Amino acid sequence: MTDITSHDQNFKNLIVDYPRDALAFFAAEEAPAPDDDVEITPLRQEQLKDRLGDRFRELDVPLLVEWRDGRREAVLFVVEEETRPRRFSTHRLAHYCLDLAQMFDTERVVPVAIFLRGAKAAPAPLALGTELETYLRFNYLACRLAETPYEDWHDSGNVAALVNLPNMRVPPERRVEAYAAAVRGLEAVEKDADRKAKYMEFIEIYARLSEDESRRFERDHAEEKAVMTGFIQRAREEGLEQGKAVMTGFIQKAREEGRQEGMERGVLRGERAVLERQLRHRFGPLPAAVVERLGQASADDLETWADNVLDAGTLDGVFGPGR
């Protein structure tokens, strides 16, 4: 079966919604400390793409981290999610980081690669040179989700980690427990209902419980099951409401356009009838070609001809040569 899930978009949303938690989880070595007073700004990819050129694939999320107290200089984090490690290109990431460094006039850039699946096939750090000297070395932080022990994060309170518990290294017999821990953790730390619903769906996407695991979840984790069921039902209802709203909007628009079109057609018929009576009054019975032309005329045509009727001595004078 083809996987059509937009993993890039899912992780981009997660990083933009929870930038501090995302850095603490995906790039712990360089992330701000919990008590650091920082401002984290996601940089717009559209702007970067326009300036970097089409030859670069858009990477997921560049984040600019600035320490308000000046304790550290600003750091630019370049975070890329890669579902299949074999597709990951160290050269591409290096290109992107070099261009960002030049654009923002900084040498403080931290490249981060998130590997959703096994990362054993991921390329090694890039080293360019000869047997005598290495002239360019490029390294990156790698977060290998499938190799991250679930036990290290299930009680962390870090949203980015909690929703990724099903993606971590979980013993088969504890997959249901990891799913329940993700639901329970998100319910505890996220108070915004919309975000909670959004990332309950994230957990559901990546848990991929079997039928047997789903039955065990319902049996052994009734409280978490109730939470998840509530959000799934809400998402369905919101989807139905959005669908109804869209359909209602289309119907209303069609009705309004229909009424407007009907009014315009009525006005046009009236103007055409008045002009035809004026022409018959001045010039007598009208040739079939003139009647046909009146029937196909636009509002602008009718207005022009009505003005001409006042001064024209012949039909040609009304319609112009070649009627």
The answer to whether residue 303 is domain-embedded is yes
Average pLDDT estimate for 82-100: 86
Do 4 and 138 lie in a common domain? yes
Alpha-carbon distance of 153 to 24, in angstroms, equals: 12
**Domain end position, chosen among 96, 130, 147:** 147
pLDDT digits (tens, 9 = 90+) for 297-318: 888 788 788 777 777 778 788 8
Alpha-carbon distance of 30 to 2, in angstroms, equals: 36
**Domain end position, chosen among 147, 165, 183:** 147
Q: Which residues contact 164 (CB under 8 A, 6 or more apart)?
A: 25, 145, 153, 182, 206
Q: What is the mean pLDDT of the chain?
A: 82
Do 3 and 121 lie in a common domain? yes
The answer to whether residue 190 is domain-embedded is no
The answer to whether residue 210 is domain-embedded is no
| Residue among 87, 169, 79 nearest 123 (CA) | 87
The answer to whether residue 283 is domain-embedded is yes
Higher local confidence (pLDDT), 51 or 226? 226
Q: What's the pLDDT score for residue 238?
A: 62
Is the pLDDT confidence value at 58 over 80? no
Average pLDDT estimate for 14-40: 94
Q: Which residues contact 215 (CB under 8 A, 6 or more apart)?
A: none
Q: Which residues contact 19 (CB under 8 A, 6 or more apart)?
A: 40, 42, 63
Higher local confidence (pLDDT), 55 or 321? 321
Average pLDDT estimate for 265-281: 77
Q: What's the pLDDT score for residue 265?
A: 66
Average pLDDT estimate for 6-26: 91
Alpha-carbon distance of 123 to 126, in angstroms, equals: 8
Structural domains in the chain (count): 2
Least confident span in 4-8, 105-109, 288-292: 4-8
Do 23 and 139 lie in a common domain? yes
Say if residues 68 and 56 touch (Cβ distance below 8 Å): no
Q: What is the 3-state secondary structure (H, E, C) of 256-320?
A: HHHHHHHHHHHHHHHHHHHHHHHHHHHHCCCCHHHHHHHHCCCHHHHHHHHHHHCCCCCHHHHHC
Do 5 and 113 lie in a common domain? yes
Is the pLDDT confidence value at 57 over 50? no
The answer to whether residue 74 is domain-embedded is yes
Q: Which residues contact 213 (CB under 8 A, 6 or more apart)?
A: 175, 176, 179
The answer to whether residue 274 is domain-embedded is yes
At 260, give phi and psi (nearest 5°). -65, -45
Average pLDDT estimate for 246-261: 56
The answer to whether residue 98 is domain-embedded is yes
Alpha-carbon distance of 170 to 70, in angstroms, equals: 40
Please tell me the pTM assigned to this model.
0.67
Least confident span in 6-15, 192-201, 238-247, 306-315: 238-247
The answer to whether residue 30 is domain-embedded is yes
**Domain end position, chosen among 113, 147, 181:** 147
CB atoms within 10 A of CB 273: 11
pLDDT digits (tens, 9 = 90+) for 96-112: 899 889 988 999 999 99
Average pLDDT estimate for 284-292: 84
Do 139 and 255 lie in a common domain? no
Q: Are strands 109-115 and 141-144 parallel, antiparallel or unpaired?
A: parallel
Alpha-carbon distance of 81 to 113, in angstroms, equals: 6
Average pLDDT estimate for 133-153: 93
Higher local confidence (pLDDT), 86 or 119? 86
Range of the domain at 14: 1-147
Alpha-carbon distance of 10 to 3, in angstroms, equals: 14
Q: What's the pLDDT score for residue 260?
A: 62
Residue whose entry in the numeric block shows the structure tokens 């099903």 = 166
